[in-house]
């Protein structure tokens, strides 16, 4: 049985955020995130990607973070695709796609502020905290808004989109007081924490 047109339109409106993925070549700005308190009692994490070197979180409690997460860098030219895995069980609440990369292994020169500098990225909600996986390879995201994912699930591939100088995964743990708006441009967390101080 078909729904009357007005009920169908109401249904689309109610469910529109659940269907959205922000796919755009727009270069946007998002506020620098504030450093918050570490999360205690987290389960030991899985290794979320393969990397050659790492750049650490930098920030002092209550001030804007200088580097808002950890960068996992992989410059092995023999590996075409480097999988990125979900750190914990959770729900996909935001996907930013549409950001290009000029070269996977050299400084990106294409729309560096696309995705507010994060490039293609995914945000996952895990009970009281969130994780962000940024600079993903164009057209590599393997999940959808509203999807429940298990820890260690492949969600996409490491890339060089956005404000990136080489192929890497930028990984954040943060808190957000509201709801992520999947149909809107990139959004900052209220606070970010050092993943290493939160069990990573």
A 10 A CB-CB count for 30 gives 15
| Per-run averaged pLDDT (10 residues), the chain, 200 residues | 47 50 92 89 79 95 95 96 96 97 95 97 94 97 96 97 97 92 94 81
Contact 135, 100 (CB under 8 A): no
22: enclosing H helix or E strand? strand 22-23
User: Could you tell me the domains of the chain?
Assistant: 21-198 (2.70.70.10)
Spatial neighbors of 188 by CB under 8 A, at least 6 apart, are: 30, 31, 32, 33, 116
3-state secondary structure of 25: coil
Strands 168-175 and 154-157: unpaired
**Pairwise CA distance, residues 129 & 41, whole Å:** 12
**Would you state the pLDDT for residue 179?**
85
Query: What DSSP character marks residue 61?
Result: T
Q: How far apart are CA 56 and CA 11, in angstroms?
A: 45
- Decide if 127 contacts 175 (C-beta within 8 A): no
Q: What's the predicted TM-score (pTM) here? A: 0.89
The CA distance from 43 to 93, in Å, is 21
On whether the CB atoms of residues 122 and 146 are closer than 8 A, the answer is no
Tokens of 7: 């009920």
**Which pLDDT belongs to residue 7?**
43
């Amino acid at each position: 049985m078909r729904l009357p047109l007005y009920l169908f339109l109401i249904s689309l409106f109610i469910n529109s955020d659940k269907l959205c993925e922000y796919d755009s070549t727009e270069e946007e700005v998002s506020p620098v995130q504030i450093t918050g308190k570490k999360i205690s009692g987290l389960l030991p994490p899985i290794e979320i990607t393969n990397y050659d070197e790492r750049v650490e979180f930098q920030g002092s409690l209550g001030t804007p973070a200088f580097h808002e997460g950890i960068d996992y860098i992989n410059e092995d030219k023999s590996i075409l695709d480097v999988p990125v895995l979900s750190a914990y069980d959770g729900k996909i609440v935001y996907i930013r796609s549409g950001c290009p990369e000029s070269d996977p292994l050299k400084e990106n020169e294409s729309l560096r502020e696309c995705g507010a500098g994060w490039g293609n990225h995914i945000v996952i909600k895990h009970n009281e905290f969130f994780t962000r996986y940024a600079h993903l390879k164009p057209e590599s995201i393997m999940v959808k808004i509203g999807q429940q994912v298990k820890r260690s699930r492949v969600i996409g591939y490491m890339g060089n989109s956005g404000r990136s100088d080489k192929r890497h995964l930028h990984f954040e743990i943060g808190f957000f007081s509201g709801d992520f708006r999947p149909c809107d441009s990139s959004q900052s967390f209220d606070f970010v924490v050092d993943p290493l101080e939160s069990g990573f």
